[in-house]
């Protein structure tokens, strides 16, 4: 089994605690190129990577040290260094199910722009992407409903992030698709939205290859980015992607704005319950596209019931993690 068509980009930052796991894990994939991009670590991450590459004589592995640019910047640097036909992304504290991954070998000798991998999928290849289908995939990433009539069985990606996916490097370069470094939260969704808007062919695989580790200890950590600035940067880029490709109507645009206003106002409350809310513009929104629980959040937000919103969100998070017997809960994609 050979994976010479594939490069794996791994952004790393102060990952000494778990870095050996992913290094050993990826070394089991034959002939794959691995690009480790250090984002300015100040622990032993770099030393451990250099030692591992040297000791195991991994000639197709590289460590790049561009300095601190954030996860998006690190991934963009990685993309610029790729020499293979396809690229995928893995986070430093996650792992690949190698046995399942090896089943993808034959797919990587086929031609496609984008491959989404996960147990939510049915195996499928489509090279006739309608605007309605592109919009449906983007709406699913945003948590919006879609009522389009589609031929495809697969109406959502395996997850909104860049993991558990394979991208054509030529397609990314042709359309200058990159991770927006001015967006701290939601940048990976924007990357996938840009890919979906430009891809000429998409392949889906039902394999479950990606082990995503949630750090239970970090669930209640504070939101440390500028939510308002991030909101408007995110909205500008997302609407530009959709409008430039003529994927949405005015009512669709209003629904997108509304769901983002609900999500980001909720984040604002979690960050600082006394913060000034982002204004809601609901006059022409298509509420049919918004899921019921988000409508409830909207009503609570507009009534100023910040403490109730905060309690609901934190209770939902705690309920999800309270049954975990480990500090690192795994989720499969």
Q: What is the pLDDT of residues 237-252, one digit of tens each?
A: 999 999 998 999 988 9
Can you tell me which residue has the tokens 């319950």? Answer: 273
| pLDDT value of residue 184 | 95
d(Cα 178, Cα 173) in Å, to the nearest integer?
9
Which DSSP symbol is given to 37? E
| pLDDT value of residue 218 | 45
d(Cα 11, Cα 17) in Å, to the nearest integer?
15
Tokens of 188: 């990976």
Q: Do the beta carbons of residue 327 and residue 215 sit within 8 Å?
A: yes
Q: What is the mean pLDDT of the chain?
A: 92
Model confidence at 327: pLDDT above 80 = no
| Predicted confidence (pLDDT) per residue in 121-167, tens digit | 999 999 989 999 999 999 999 999 998 888 888 999 998 799 999 99
| pLDDT value of residue 215 | 65
| pLDDT value of residue 13 | 96
| pLDDT value of residue 151 | 83
Domains within the chain, CATH numbers bracketed: 1-96 (3.90.550.10), 110-333 (no CATH)
Q: Do the beta carbons of residue 36 and residue 10 sit within 8 Å?
A: yes
Question: Predicted confidence band at 188 (pLDDT cuts at 50, 70, 90)?
Answer: very high
CA distances from 197 to 158, 230, 271 (A): 17, 22, 33
Q: What is the pTM of this model?
A: 0.95
| Predicted confidence (pLDDT) per residue in 28-50, tens digit | 999 999 999 999 999 999 999 99
Q: Do the beta carbons of residue 104 and residue 207 sit within 8 Å?
A: yes
State mean pLDDT over 260-287: 90
State mean pLDDT over 95-105: 96
Model confidence at 220: pLDDT above 50 = no
Model confidence at 316: pLDDT above 80 = no
Of 48-52, 75-79, 268-272, which range is least confident? 268-272
State mean pLDDT over 67-84: 97
| pLDDT value of residue 322 | 55
Percentage of the chain exceeding pLDDT 70: 94
d(Cα 269, Cα 223) in Å, to the nearest integer?
10
d(Cα 298, Cα 300) in Å, to the nearest integer?
5
* Choice between 184 and 221, residue whose per-residue pLDDT is larger: 184
- Our measurement of the distance from residue 318's CA atom to the centroid of its chain's CA atoms, rounded to an integer in Å, reads 23
CA dihedral (192, 331, 63, 114) positive or negative: negative
* Choice between 274 and 55, residue whose per-residue pLDDT is larger: 55
3-class DSSP string for 249-309:
CHHHHHHHHHHHHHHHHHHHHHHCCCCCCCCCCCCCCCHHHECHHHHHHHHHHHCCCHHHH
State mean pLDDT over 254-260: 94
Model confidence at 185: pLDDT above 70 = yes
Give CA angle at 163 (159, 165), nearest 5°.
85
Q: What strands lie across the sheet with 114-117, from one edge to the other?
A: 61-64, 33-38, 6-12, 86-89, 165-168, 114-117, 202-205, 124-126
196 contact partners, CB below 8 Å, separation of at least 6: 114, 134, 137, 138, 202
What count of Cα atoms within 13 Å lies in the side-chain half-sphere of residue 30? 7
């Amino acid at each position: 089994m050979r994976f010479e068509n594939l490069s794996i980009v791994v952004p790393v930052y102060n990952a000494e605690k778990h870095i050996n796991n992913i290094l050993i894990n990826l070394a089991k994939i034959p002939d794959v190129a691995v690009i480790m991009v250090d984002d300015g670590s100040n622990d032993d991450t770099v030393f451990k990577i250099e030692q591992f590459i040297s000791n195991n004589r991994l000639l197709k592995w590289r460590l790049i040290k561009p300095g601190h640019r954030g996860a998006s910047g690190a991934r963009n640097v990685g993309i610029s260094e790729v020499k293979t036909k396809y690229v995928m992304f893995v986070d430093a504290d996650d792992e690949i199910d190698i046995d399942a991954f090896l089943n993808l070998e034959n797919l990587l000798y086929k031609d496609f722009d984008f491959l989404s991998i996960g147990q939510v999928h049915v195996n499928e290849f489509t090279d006739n992407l309608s605007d309605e289908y592109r919009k449906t995939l983007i709406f699913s990433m945003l948590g919006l409903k879609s009522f389009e009539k589609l031929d495809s069985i697969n109406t959502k990606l395996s997850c909104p992030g860049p993991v558990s996916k394979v991208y054509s490097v030529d397609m990314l370069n042709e359309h200058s698709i990159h991770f927006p470094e001015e967006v701290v939260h939601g940048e990976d969704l924007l990357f996938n939205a840009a890919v979906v808007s430009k891809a000429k062919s998409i392949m889906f695989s039902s394999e479950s290859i990606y082990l995503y580790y949630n750090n239970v200890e970090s669930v209640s950590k504070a939101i440390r980015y500028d939510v308002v600035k991030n909101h408007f940067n995110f909205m500008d880029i997302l609407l530009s992607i959709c409008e430039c490709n003529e994927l949405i109507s005015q009512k669709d645009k209003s629904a997108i704005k509304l769901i983002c206003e609900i999500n980001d106002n909720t984040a604002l409350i979690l960050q600082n319950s006394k913060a000034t809310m982002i204004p809601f513009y609901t006059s022409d929104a298509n509420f049919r596209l918004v899921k019921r629980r988000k409508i409830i959040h909207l009503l609570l937000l507009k009534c100023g019931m910040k403490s109730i919103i905060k309690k609901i969100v934190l209770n939902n998070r705690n309920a999800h993690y309270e049954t975990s017997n480990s500090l690192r809960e795994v989720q499969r994609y």
